[in-house]
Chain A
Amino acid sequence: MSPIIKAEKITHVYGTGTVFERTALAGVDFQAERGECVGIIGHTGSGKSTFIQTLNGLIKPTSGSVFFDGADIRQSKERAREVRFKVGLVFQYPEYQLFEETVFKDIAFGPKNMGLTESEISERVREAADFVGLDDEDLEKSPFELSGGQRRRAAIAGVIAMRPQVLIADEPTAGLDPSGSAEITANIEAYRRSTGAAVIIVTHSMDEIARNADRVAVFDEGRIVIDAPPARAFSRGEELTAMGLGLPTAAVIAARLRERGLRIADDIITSEGLRAALRAFRRGGGNA
């Protein structure tokens, strides 16, 4: 099966011909399969945010093409519009974009723009609200009566309600407390599992990537420099540090223990993995 979304040699230059000219993307190749969870990491200004906006056609790249389900998203105007709904994009701090009187109406904004019937809209709103854990009572509230975390989840539901086959989220957990971010991560994961959509998450949390992503793409100066499963990507710790990026906490601890002479595998990136490795080590008699 062909990848659900594929980007070929994407370059993007801002402000061509002015003093502000800046290359944001310099030849990016990328693809994601159905049901896959891809993490995108990179330093601020490495081109991540520009890149994800090219995937649903919000930004037209200077050169290169994006293919959704095998066909170019710029084939025709109708196609471009359709792709907006099929490739759902959750921006940073999406709660600041809520505008309707009730949460229900706000979540319904996307489906309404798709031209669905009232009953279909209602069904989708409830389904999306269910994914993010908002109940019927919340749906009738004004978005401004919700807590910060709930507001964020309402905004994500607004994108999920379009039933995108690719769900892209730009730092969905930024600025939330640990339980709030865990909830959001779980909501997105639930959507991926039940619909088989591809999920692409931009994040600064290496732990999040280590736990959830099947693959991680590392952006640096407008290019993808590493594209590998997390365990393999995070084994290149020095390169990542040189790019101003960190490692998952568990990987850092494992590396320190290795420095002290403990024989621990170098593909440990999650706390579960670390715990298992340490247990095995102890059973082995601690002969290091």
Chain B
Amino acid sequence: MLKQLTRSALEHLLQQTAADYRLQVPQRLADGTRQLAPYGSGELSLFGETPQRKPTSAFFPQTEPLLKIDSTGAVQLPAAAEKPLALFGLDAHDLHGIAFIDRFFSAAPADDVYLRQRTNALLIGLTGAAGPDQSFLPLSAGNCDIELIASNDHWLAVAYSETGEQLLEPFPDGDNDRLRALREETSSYRAIRPDSLQKASELLLHDRVPDDFWEAIAARCILCSGCNLACPTCTCFCLQDRQRADGTERSRVWDSCQLDAFMREASGHNPLGSEALRTRRRIHHKLAADPQRWGELGCVACGRCDRACPTGIGIFAVAEEIVKRYEKG
């Protein structure tokens, strides 16, 4: 289904969505950053830089209550949310990131805590002339309910699910030729992922990256863990208990493989006992382990870790360095 929305029609679609969903939309915050925030809490930002907070945090938040255990050992689950989530403003990278962790958390045994947030949630992509200064953002792979494609003074709206079709039903049909042209523009656009990621992946899979490389990269790491916290496909967590008046609240909290305690066992044995091993793990996991396990890179090339890293060792930078040093050698 292809429809066309004016600015007021888009507002109408969002209002309608907000009636049935906890809708988050991109907004320009007072500090100048662009982030997803509850609809109606600020001014809608329809183009601009990618929000630095990862969109997957809506479904896998930094701290998430799992259950409560009372004094008898009985377990109680948190109350279900009244409405499912809806995220508007996701680009192709972010939709890819959500699809990646959908598969991860759905793999048997399915993570019911993730599914409770994610099931029936609505994803609305925002591509086309929606980048900084209305620059072109490549179209999505259709891994959303609705994709809004900014074009001149209107938005083409493609429905990819039954729910998406219902929501777009009232709007006038869009121009198929225009959609075709935008899709062609996407295919001629630079690859969604830089070549260096794929090349670095192959070098890692063929064990062509020596240990002293990781020593040198790790020497630049300040252990802030910003790379992991910003990455939409990072899913590692640890458990945390808090004693409350009515029992123990058990939560999960994001963890970082860059930290010494990540794999340390009670015996003191630590399979990732050096910064070099942990830095290798961060990059190797995305570029070599994930392709082996899931058949694709674990990096969706959103650029967040490279923006977050104060010392320039985000995954693009490291992949480029790997390719530069070892591609021919």
Q: Say if A and B assemble together.
A: no
A positions within 8 Å CB-CB of B: none
